[in-house]
Structure 1
């Protein structure tokens, strides 16, 4: 069973966010109201990023800071487009299911964020992972979440975008080649050209990453903890439903995480080195242990 959730991260994140928001307001003093501060939040699956954003947003709201939380998952390609991507690349296992860079609608994400930065009425996409027998699909715009639809609402001050691949930046093709030739957990399972294709597609994501005024990184002492954490989530699902057959088996969990793991092997180092070089102090890295509790904090 997963251990009970203890929020030891919000007390670390809130002072950091408040400081970055103060600097953001100073830099945007000529704009009234200033555009919201966009914060990226990255963490490997199961580390607790989705759980963290709830108390994080609540704490900011208590400080009088209107906050919007969204997930990069809501910007997955439509089912139709994902199927087309898979069919166009039948040998590339990384694109046969949603998840890896290249399976998100980045132009839509940029359009939504650009509108939010201007405080315009905006519809936030919603994605249902249960549709098409778990393959998922984007819901129709009539089901999207309206933002800034009420002129009497205070303007947004903070937007938090969370996701397992948020902040990943492409690396040099030579680095991909070197990593592919070195011992690894999953990279050797894929052809080099398929990894290079993912890396090329990741260049589009830089346009989103460059919008971040701050970044939160929940890192792990050992990335392979993701397999245990994902298994714990499945155990929690079975308990919550009272169904011992619910969720994925251990073998299915390994296969599921293996589909994402190549990106961890390729891009985690870049996150740790810092992804906002022109903004010193704008990145907060929290390193957690197997129990998901913070062991070390690094400001980059």
Structure 2
């Protein structure tokens, strides 16, 4: 019989649990040397990061650990704050998601509080309204945390050399950012975001077969949101999703190329999100004292 937690997991998810998430929970248990152990979970839009975090949280709680979960999506600037950026810097900054549209100070304060063993309300963002959830509605986490799971599409991403930004990558960059102001701002913000990612003790990466499947995955994700909140103003149709994903393409492609060599563990998926492999990078041995 499945446990209460397992009964709530998605159907046909057993292979992902057995191939990757149970071994990942065991890896966290083995490598945890302090409280809390902060784990970043990176993967492109629609790759199943949120579900993986929920299941991984259940597995770790089954070992008696207190687990706090936070998404980088929960750190988006408010709608009003992004409108100011769009007016003062570049119109594309009205769109949530890329580096530069997150509240880095909020993220640092939340992770610092969790690192200090505090209890606190964890921020949340409502994508159906494209705005931050009122603070009174944020869920309360009772500390101290043993493990912190911090997931997001660009968690662990690194900025590109500025010279790489010169040539537009897609129609969005070519038509709406011809002078490169927006992509330079995003890249500079990502460089500053390294202070946030430096708080992590381990990085796990979910890899799709290629970038092209991401649009389809994101469309599926948005369709679920539309079904749950019909008529909500912040939701997108398929054409809007394709344009939305173009905002993320440059950073995502770079992370898919160079991230696996740095990640502590990598879960590779096929186009149907079925697990192909799970690999763990062994930590470097301590330097010799001889």
Shared fold (TM-score, shorter chain, > 0.5): yes
Q: Does 1:174 align with 2:139?
A: no
1:7 Cα shift? Answer: 4.0
Alpha carbons of 1:208 and 1:239: their partners in 2 closer, same or farther (altered >3 Å)? closer
Distance in 2, Cα, partners of 1:227 & 1:187: 17
Q: Which residue number in structure 1 is paired with residue 258 of structure 2?
A: 270
Match of 1:18 among 17, 26, 47: 26
How does 1:139-158 map onto structure 2 within 5 Å? 139-140=134-135, 142-148=136-142, 155-158=144-147
Cα contact 1:76–1:98 (8 A) shared by 2: yes
Q: Which residue number in structure 2 is paired with residue 292 of structure 1?
A: 273
Cα contact 1:128–1:139 (8 A) shared by 2: no
Unaligned runs of 5+ in 2: 1-9, 282-290
Distance in 2, Cα, partners of 1:200 & 1:116: 27
Q: Which residue number in structure 2 is paired with residue 193 of structure 1?
A: 181
How does 1:87-126 map onto structure 2 within 5 Å? 87-90=87-90, 92-93=91-92, 95-126=93-124
1:120 Cα shift? Answer: 1.7
Distance in 2, Cα, partners of 1:23 & 1:7: 24
Q: Does 1:161 align with 2:150?
A: yes
Alpha carbons of 1:239 and 1:268: their partners in 2 closer, same or farther (altered >3 Å)? same
Q: Which residue number in structure 1 is paired with residue 65 of structure 2?
A: 65
Cα RMSD, aligned residues only:
2.7
* Partner secondary structure for residue 212 of structure 1: coil
Cα contact 2:74–2:132 (8 A) shared by 1: no
Q: Which residue number in structure 1 is paired with residue 4 of structure 2?
A: none
Alpha carbons of 1:146 and 1:222: their partners in 2 closer, same or farther (altered >3 Å)? same
Cα contact 1:170–1:267 (8 A) shared by 2: no
Q: Which residue number in structure 2 is paired with residue 225 of structure 1?
A: 213
Distance in 1, Cα, partners of 2:213 & 2:50: 17
Alpha carbons of 1:63 and 1:136: their partners in 2 closer, same or farther (altered >3 Å)? same
Alpha carbons of 1:253 and 1:19: their partners in 2 closer, same or farther (altered >3 Å)? closer
Cα contact 2:269–2:276 (8 A) shared by 1: yes
1:238 Cα shift? Answer: 6.1
Alpha carbons of 1:187 and 1:58: their partners in 2 closer, same or farther (altered >3 Å)? same
Q: Does 1:77 align with 2:65?
A: no
Cα contact 2:265–2:279 (8 A) shared by 1: yes
Matched residue count = 267
Q: Structure 2 length as normaliser, TM-score?
A: 0.81
Q: Which residue number in structure 1 is paired with residue 287 of structure 2?
A: none
